[in-house]
Amino acid sequence: MKKTAISLICLAFIFNSCKVQDRVVIKEVVKTPEVIYPKNVILMIGDGMGLGQISAGMYHQGNKTILEEFPVVGIHKPAAFGKLITDSAAAATSFACGVKTYNGAIGVDKDTIPVKTILEEAEEKGLATGLVATSTIVHATPASFIAHNKSRKNYEEIATEFLATEIDLFIGGGKKYFDRRADDRNLLNEFKGYQLSHYAEQELDEIEFDPNKNVAYLTSDADPIPAAQGRDYLIPASKKAVEFLDKKASQGFFLMIEGSQIDWGGHANNSDYILTEFSDFDKAISAVLDFAKTDGETLVIVTADHETGGYAIQEESTMDSLVTAFTSTYHTGTMIPVFAYGPQAERFAGIYENTEIYHKMREAFNWISTMQKN
């Protein structure tokens, strides 16, 4: 009898505990909404694309830009380490590596120590990776995602670093840094497992990318020409890149696409140059956004490294006829807008340092951050 009584008490106790636990579990389910992380992250950088460039570009296109379709907008603070006015190398390194560094630095910190880039980390984690640019592919912005060099000017050294990471796709100019070098190496013969081609052999449009290989396409010998002079590969390259990487990557991909020459229009104080390059980039964003909308698992972030030219729209302007002015032939210190679409886009609202773009992308991928934030 005694035993039974004890057993009954025990049973009652267990039953009670279960009830309590059940209730807790139910509460948790109600409380926690499902968190959706993107499979793919596409970072699009309009080099030198400040709010003046976006505004003028939008008015020039009949008061329309695809950026209006991005539900989340934030602002980043673009300063470099030790310099208020950043260059493209320090800025791209802050996006790629999450560190503030000196102007001219490619994937290295302020003490010239290499820092792993988000592209390299994506490769390590089994994601597919890609870089597309309308400059040479060894230029500051794309270079900072794959190379580690104390100076952005070491183009041939940067080119060799494309062999060190098994990047799945790269499209951009600068063939001469690969095949006509001071060290007499022809890097184009050293890429193994790549479907490799260039502007003199084949049009990009004619190439069917083989998802069993990696892809490299060099669009020019040195700098690609401006869009106004006939460069027309950014839009097809962006489309082909997302389709290829999506096909290739069961675990997702990281892709950086740069509209490189908005900046060059700013340096040249040439408003038409800015407007035609913005229009080209806007259409590339549109192509990428179409993919992201259909895909549903892709986070797209559009931003700039810095503004160039102190470009401003003057009082005499009308929507159809813009009168613009410049205050500089270099970059300026104005804060830079960030546009985000897709899962985890809300992370990009607010005002933050440019290094946060790196941390926010990693958090969006749901990679546990072990790095100290700068």
Binding-residue pattern over the window 237 to 276 for Zn ion, x denoting contact by CB under 5 A: --------------------------x-------------
- Total residues contacting Zn ion by CB under 5 A comes to 1
Contacts for 171 with CB less than 8 Å, ≥ 6 apart: 130, 131, 132, 133, 137, 204, 215, 216, 217, 219, 233, 237, 241
Is 328 marked active-site? no
* Residue least distant from Zn ion (Cβ): 263
Nearer to Zn ion, 223 or 263 (CB): 263
What is the nearest approach in angstroms of Zn ion to the Cβ of residue 261?
10
Which of positions 152-191 make contact with Zn ion (CB under 5 A)?
Answer: none
Cβ proximity to Zn ion, 263 vs 280, nearer residue: 263
* CB of residue 85 to Zn ion, shortest distance in Å: 10
Nearer to Zn ion, 88 or 220 (CB): 88
Q: In the bound complex, what is the minimum distance in angstroms from residue 321's beta carbon to Zn ion? A: 27
Report the nearest approach of Zn ion to the CB of residue 308 (Å): 5
* Cβ proximity to Zn ion, 259 vs 343, nearer residue: 259
CB of 297 to Zn ion, least distance (A): 34
Q: Binding pattern to Zn ion, positions 86-125, x when CB under 5 A?
A: ----------------------------------------
- SS3 letters across the chain: CHHHHHHHHHHHHHHHHHHHHHHHHHHHHHHCCCCCCCCEEEEEEECCCCHHHHHHHHHHCCCCCHHHHCCEEEEEECCECCECCCCHHHHHHHHHHCCCCCCCCECECCCCCECCCHHHHHHHCCCEEEEEEEEECCCHHHHCCCCCECCCCCHHHHHHHHHCCCCCEEEEECCHHHHCCCCCCCHHHCCCCEEEEECCCCCHHHCCCCCCCEEEEECCCCCCCCHHHCCCCHHHHHHHHHHHHHHHCCCCEEEEEEECCHHHHHHCCCHHHHHHHHHHHHHHHHHHHHHHHHHCCEEEEEECCCEECCCEECCCCCCCCCCEECCCCCEECCCEEEEEECCCHHHHCEEEECHHHHHHHHHHCCCCCCCCCC
Shortest spacing between CB 365 and Zn ion, in angstroms: 29
Site string for Zn ion, 353-372 (x = CB under 5 A): --------------------
Catalytic position from the list 7, 17, 55, 88: 88
- Residue closer to Zn ion (CB basis): 163 or 268: 268
Of the two residues 101 and 344, which places its CB atom closer to Zn ion in the complex? 101
Q: Which residues are catalytic?
A: 88
Binding site for Zn ion (CB under 5 A): 263
